[in-house]
Structure 1
Amino acid sequence: MTRTLILTRHAKSAWDSNSPSDHARPLNKRGRRSAKALGEWLRQHNHIPDQILSSSSQRTRETQALMGFEAPASFSERLYHASSEILFQALREAEHQSVLLVTHNPGIAAFAHAIVAAPPDHVRFDDYPTGATLVVQFDIDSWSQLSWSSGRAVDFIVPRELLGEELPA
């Protein structure tokens, strides 16, 4: 059996907001457009999660909500700025076949690099910018069988591509 991970860094957040903390910082206008575009792109490519694991921050909650999936979602404080090891443990506890994991850098970039056998050929994979989304498949029957460097990168996209913006060279 195959398990699928959709690994999304939250969309662009508003640094100029009056939020009382980093945890409460919302998405900005571009971030909201990006999250919607990511959801549409995932649906077009038939990457549909049946479980969502998200950091408890405002920007990750907004990102996953605007992506528009109806899968059950859980929001965890432990995923807020989590290390790659914590992300690995959280995924090993997942219960459904296709999981959307929405969290933050630098942990998400480190996790993305460590979980795949070979990285996707994309100029932005290394820095994993806001909204970056990696789709990975694993040949395992249960998430508890997950191991490092075992995933096959299927797709990778950044919102700039979906919004028709130039990628940095």
Structure 2
Amino acid sequence: MKRLILMRHAKSDWSAGAGSDHDRPLNARGVAAAQALGDWLRAQDLLPDQVLSSSSKRTGQTFIGLGLADDTPTTFTRDLYLATHNDLLAALRQATGNVVLMLGHNPGISITAAQLVSTPPDHPKFNQYPTGATLVADFEIDHWRDADWGNAVARHFVVPRDL
């Protein structure tokens, strides 16, 4: 079995005056949400052994806010910045961990979540996939290369307002 934790970055600060969208940071609510999501992951014993993340400032800050183990293999790549659902699946198929946290952006993250699960979770915010939204999905596969659309089972879905 393989497990994916698919997370949209926490709330960003549109008023920060960042030079580019890629450099936009989290706002105070986003920082608090990232910490709450990290606490939730630990409470559920959902700790990744690999992290694949967009290289944007807000995904990096979300990751830091989660407070995960410093020795977790982590890749920050521009390839996941505003990546499409097909790009995200391609990156996931290259993963090596058993529990992979993937941090990214909408609309790619929400489309990926909707297409990966065989049945969507019963949550009113799933289709909107707001900032900080997190899906935990299990795949009955031995290798990530076998991950495909519709072959994951949703185990958890949470948004920061739930916490």
Gaps of 5+ in 2: none
How big is the alpha-carbon RMSD for the aligned residues of Structure 1 and Structure 2?
0.5
What aligned pairs does 1:29-40 form with structure 2 within 5 A after superposition?
29-40=28-39
TM-score by length of 2: 0.98
SS in 2 for 1:118: coil
Q: Deviations over 1:14-56 (max 9, x none)?
A: 0000211100000000000000000100110111100000000
| 2: CA distance, partners of 1:68 / 1:3 | 22
Report the AA paired with residue 29 of structure 1.
Answer: A
Shift of 1:85: 0.2
Structure-1 separation of matches of 2:148 and 2:73: 25
Q: Which residue of the partner structure matches residue 140 of structure 1? A: 141
Give 1:95 deviation, angstroms: 0.5
> Which aligned pairs between 1:59-138 and structure 2 lie closer than 5 A?
59-70=58-69, 71-138=72-139
The match for 1:165 is: none
- For the pair 1:16 / 2:15, whether they are aligned, the reply is yes
Give 1:72 deviation, angstroms: 1.5
What amino acid maps onto 2:16 in structure 1? S
% identity of equivalent residues: 50
Alignment length (residue pairs): 161
The TM-score with structure 1 as length reference comes to 0.94
After superposing the two structures, state which structure 1 stretch, 5-14 or 60-69, moved more.
60-69
The CA distance in 1 between the partners of 2:148 and 2:104, in whole Å, is 20
